[in-house]
Structure 1
């Protein structure tokens, strides 16, 4: 069985394995992607923020504690929605249970729209970027991360369980569906080149202000070995865009 979008997270076995993996002390999401994303976002005081694919809601909690006045999120997984609503109970927050392709984006409602490692699960990003553009206030920002295209490129499957020490970068300019075996499940992702992300964003009307490939910093790793391994290949690609 192949899982698309957020469906895998509603498989209880996958969900349990993912949560354990996600909360590792040196999870790359925590020590590589998040610091750069948070730097791009900057001060959120007084902002209305929409988060596309909020997961368990901890990022929303961070933003609310940093001073945003309203946090909304869209999440396709029922398991994730339930835990996010518990995390953000009694906060100025709303968690909408919907896939992004079907959600009715409001018009000019947000100062900032974020998304962490979601867009590479979506087959057609063009209407999503159009909807995001319309949902932002004038001069509003879109800041998001995706899995780096060098990781999504190859059509050769790997188990996703072993601690990798080498990477096969192949089929880079062949955009489209990839099936990755991750935590013993077949998960569908969609490969795009960096250039393709650039064109999709600019066609929607966005001005790209910054990008990052989230290089590792030695201070965030307990061993020289793990730091050296993370220096070998980029894991993430971040964009900071403005309407």
Structure 2
């Protein structure tokens, strides 16, 4: 069984209190960048890898998807998805994305939101996704930015008064496991370089169609204390690709 931090009661309770958990896509700082990078869902079969609460599954269904298959390892996350984001074209399944096995050409679109930094072997998952997608299929995902994952701790360096000095970037080219702190809890994540992400796509028959480093929208910067500091370093990366 892969690490399943989201079923830890303490961690999940903290995650459930986040704005993006309570208010959905519009409360996610990256959403305004991600939404226009999404493909047309009309009449298409969609796979959501690490679907969490099912926000993106619901979005695909609302925008005309023929079928949506959301998989996630967390029983607690899927319980919320089933309760709050159930719809006729959506099917949810509890499964580690690394263990998924679908027939070749099962889907037209593969999505993933902030899940791939929990995957140890990203290249293997991209190879499988390439097989699952039909020719011309779209693959769009967000993940934590390599600058954000490189050093591991994912916290600012501060002076003796708690003022932010800078964000640490170290061991950038040393891909692999990192012990991070997220919501005050220790979580295992995996760092890879930008070359690692893009190279895995290109070497598995994908053509890169989009790349973005999303910034929080101005209204979040104005309304949320400390949000302006998110402009000091990239936290997320979004990539869009098409199977050739």
What TM bracket, shorter-length normalisation?
A: 0.7 to 0.9
Q: What residue in structure 1 maps to residue 189 of structure 2? A: 189
Once the two structures are superposed, residues 22-74 of structure 1 have per-residue CA deviations (whole angstroms, 9 ceiling, x without a partner) of: 43789998343222221101432222111000101122112211221211111
| 8 Å contact kept, 2:47–2:107 | yes
1:203 aligns with 2:203: yes
1:128 aligns with 2:128: no
| 8 Å contact kept, 1:50–1:114 | yes
| 8 Å contact kept, 1:74–1:95 | yes
RMSD of the alignment, in Å? 2.7
Once the two structures are superposed, residues 161-195 of structure 1 have per-residue CA deviations (whole angstroms, 9 ceiling, x without a partner) of: x9967311111111111001222322111101101
Alignment length (residue pairs): 238
Please list every run of 5 or more consecutive structure 2 residues that lacks an aligned counterpart in the other structure: 157-161
1:52 aligns with 2:53: no
TM-score after normalising by structure 1: 0.88
Please list every run of 5 or more consecutive structure 1 residues that lacks an aligned counterpart in the other structure: none
**Once the 2 structures are TM-superposed, how far is the Cα of residue 99 of structure 1 from its aligned partner?**
0.4
| 8 Å contact kept, 1:52–1:73 | yes
Q: Which has the higher contact order (CA 8 A, sep 6+)?
A: 1
Closer, same or farther in 2 for the Cα pair 1:189/1:224, shift >3 Å?
closer
| 8 Å contact kept, 2:30–2:216 | no
Secondary structure, in 3 states, of the residue corresponding to 1:46?
Answer: coil
**Among 105, 110, 116, the residue aligned to 1:108:** 105
Correspondence list, 1:1-243, <5 A: 7-23=4-20, 30-156=27-153, 158=155, 166-223=166-223, 226=226, 228-243=228-243
TM-score after normalising by structure 2: 0.87
